[in-house]
Amino acid sequence: MAEHAASCEGVVRIYWSPGGEVHALKGVDAVLPAGSLTALTGPSGSGKTSLLKILAAQDRPTAGLAVVAGEPLTALSGRRLRALRRRHIGYVFARPPDNLQPELTVVGHLREAGRLRGLPRPVVRQETEELVGLLGLTERADHRPDQLSGGEQQRLAFAQAVVGSPALVVADEPTGELDSATTADLLGVVRRLAHRGTTVLVATHDPQAAEVADQVLAMRSGTIAAEQVAGRRLAVIDGNGRLQLPDEVLRRFHTRRVEIDVDESGVHLREPS
């Protein structure tokens, strides 16, 4: 398995609308290690969905490089992009009904997902059995979506997305419609699915998601401002040496100018005297 399931470098996305240009992504660098769960956080409008769509190969960046499963998405033709999406990318929407088909049972969804990915039947059968058990839905294997709770529906949506071990599953606010206990439950399942070998990227406003994630990427105004790994929050320096200071630090620099001192103990930022 590749060390990184997906990455992007200098990704820019500009939308052209009647009101003018919207610079939604302004040079995003990010790496998603294989088999990890990453939470993408940030205020509304900071660019989370724009980045998800690019990594899910549903949209192309205006500039920059995005790579999934070793393939540079930006260089692929429409046909190869669709093939990569079918085999290597899963997408989970915020609303449970958008992810599922009313006439299919739990098992039916997983089998259909395997068929769409082009997996051999015995593999699909084995994966279906394993995933139904992992989801805790053995008793509900023959139930249709309207016979499942919202949390069960989202668990099924993630399971369907990981059938065939695609390189990457992206989810946009998948816990948005769930209460706190159901959210915790779903996140536990998502983490188990990720550690089974599929890399998962979840855009979320939910602090619980950030708590269970292996890494957190915090967006601000179209860039990744900070990254949290193993409980440590690190500011991100972009390819041009730009660093976003946390808000509480930024407030101290009224003139937006800073003196930088370097000595043996480290690098110090001081307000100009």
Ligand X SMILES: Nc1ncnc2c1ncn2[C@@H]1O[C@H](COP(=O)(O)OP(=O)(O)OP(=O)(O)O)[C@@H](O)[C@H]1O
Q: Which residues here bind ligand X, judged by CB under 6 A?
A: 15, 17, 22, 24, 42, 44-50
46 or 215, CB closer to ligand X?
Answer: 46
The nearer residue to ligand X, 58 or 138, going by C-beta atoms, is: 58
Minimum Å distance from CB 17 to ligand X?
Answer: 4
Instruction: Give the residue with the Cβ less far from ligand X, 110 or 217.
Output: 217
C-alpha distances out from residue 166 to 34, 211, 221, 255, 269, Å: 11, 24, 30, 48, 44
Shortest separation between residue 205's beta carbon and ligand X, angstroms: 7
| Residues listed for the chain | 273
Smallest distance from the beta carbon of 213 to ligand X, in angstroms? 17
Q: Tell me how far, at minimum, the Cβ of 83 lies from ligand X, in Å.
A: 25
By beta-carbon proximity to ligand X, the closer residue of 15 and 93 is 15
DSSP the chain: --SEEEEEEEEEEEEEETTEEEEEEEEEEEEEETT-EEEEE-STTSSHHHHHHHHTTSS--SEEEEEETTEEGGGS-HHHHHHHHHHHEEEE-SSHHHHS-TT--HHHHHHHHHHHTT--HHHHHHHHHHHHHHHT-GGGTT--GGGS-HHHHHHHHHHHHHTT--SEEEEESTTTTS-HHHHHHHHHHHHHHHHTT-EEEEE-S-HHHHHH-SEEEEEETTEEEEEEETTEEEEPB-TTS-BPPPHHHHTT-TTS--EEEEETTEEEEE---
Q: Which is nearer to ligand X, 32 or 124 (CB)?
A: 32
- CA distances 232 to 204, 216, 229, Å, are 19, 10, 5
The residue among 47 and 114 lying less far from ligand X, judged by its C-beta, is 47
Smallest distance from ligand X to CB 42, Å? 6
Shortest Å, Cβ 26 to ligand X: 11
Nearer to ligand X, 50 or 128 (CB): 50
Specify the residue, 47 or 151, whose C-beta has the smaller distance to ligand X: 47
Question: What order of strands is seen across the sheet that includes strand 37-41?
Answer: 89-92, 168-172, 199-203, 37-41, 215-220, 223-229, 232-235
CB of 203 to ligand X, least distance (A): 6
State the minimum distance, in angstroms, from the CB of residue 177 to ligand X.
Answer: 14
